[in-house]
């Protein structure tokens, strides 16, 4: 009788622990308040990124003169266009070596054209600055400028924490989390944190990913070097303990059942 009573008690306690450890699906469902007729009006525009010291830029300058093109790119084809883009920029190391890094004074140094101050400028502004200065040396230059060092750090309750690179100037927080493999079952997505460095000031944004309101947040579109942290749920520890308690009770119950059968 004592064995049966203990088994009943174990089952009862197991049910209580399981019920206690369960979480509402709303706690880890993105945008759960969006319905079929939801309309979200936003007047925010993506702010053009202003480059900083030590950012790395892809700069392509193509003219009608193949010899001049070779000054800017040794892999340029006779037609003037780069024939080695993949080998030159296919990985982070190649990008670092072949890109134009902004120096400690905020400048880039281009062959023939010389030094150009670019710190604090957008990519379009840098393109215009290069174009205007190049007219003194080049005829009908075609110029492209891209940011190679657009990276974000995703950490916390995601499946693959790490640094992720984007080659699209428009990156959202949801895309960054997807790059990290999505969130874990212990994620507290109601209070995701985005930390952004602007000069000497760090801005922190707390974002509720379960609500459509976060689509209006300044942190929805990420900036280079943003840090995204997904906090653990407050009952993560209790959930782990509940699993251990359930396993312990299950083991004891099984042993008692075996012992009762043998007896």
Query: Please, what are the domains in the chain?
Result: 10-36+150-263 (3.10.560.10), 56-147 (3.30.1950.10)
pLDDT score for 259: 54
pLDDT greater than 90 at residue 4:
no
Q: Residue 84 phi/psi, 5° resolution?
A: -125, 30
The better pLDDT of the pair 64, 31 is held by: 64
pLDDT score for 93: 83
The better pLDDT of the pair 36, 192 is held by: 192
Least confident of 115-119, 215-219, 227-231: 215-219
Nearby residues of 155 by Cβ (< 8 Å), 6 or more positions away: 161, 227, 228, 229, 230
Mean pLDDT value across residues 73-99: 67
Task: State how beta strands 201-207 and 142-147 pair.
Answer: unpaired
Nearby residues of 29 by Cβ (< 8 Å), 6 or more positions away: 210
The better pLDDT of the pair 209, 259 is held by: 209
- Label residue 235 by pLDDT band (50, 70, 90): low
pLDDT score for 90: 72
Closest to 102 (Cα-Cα) out of 50, 31, 138: 50
pLDDT greater than 80 at residue 146:
yes
């Amino acid at each position: 009788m004592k064995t049966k009573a203990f088994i009943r008690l174990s089952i009862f306690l197991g049910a209580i622990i399981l019920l206690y450890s369960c979480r509402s699906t709303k706690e880890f469902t993105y945008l759960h308040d969006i319905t079929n007729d939801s309309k979200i009006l936003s007047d925010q525009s993506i702010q053009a990124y202003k480059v900083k010291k030590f950012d790395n830029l892809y700069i392509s300058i193509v003219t009608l003169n193949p010899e001049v093109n070779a000054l800017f790119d040794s892999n340029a084809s006779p037609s003037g266009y780069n024939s080695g883009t993949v080998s030159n920029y296919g990985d982070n190391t190649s990008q670092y070596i072949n890109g134009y890094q902004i120096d400690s004074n905020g400048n880039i140094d281009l062959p023939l054209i010389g030094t150009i101050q670019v710190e604090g400028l957008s990519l379009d502004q840098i393109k215009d600055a290069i174009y205007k200065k190049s007219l003194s040396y080049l005829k009908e230059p075609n110029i492209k400028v891209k940011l190679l060092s657009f990276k974000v750090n995703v950490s916390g309750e995601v499946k693959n924490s790490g640094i992720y690179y984007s080659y699209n100037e428009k990156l959202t927080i949801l895309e960054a989390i997807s790059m990290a493999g999505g969130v874990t079952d212990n994620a507290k997505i109601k209070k995701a944190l985005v930390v952004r460095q602007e000069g000497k000031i760090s801005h922190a944004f707390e974002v509720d990913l379960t609500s459509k309101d976060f689509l209006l947040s300044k942190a929805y579109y990420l900036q280079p070097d943003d840090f995204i942290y997904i906090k653990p749920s407050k009952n993560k520890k209790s959930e782990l303990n509940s699993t251990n308690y359930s396993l312990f009770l299950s083991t004891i119950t099984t042993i008692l059942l075996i012992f009762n059968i043998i007896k």
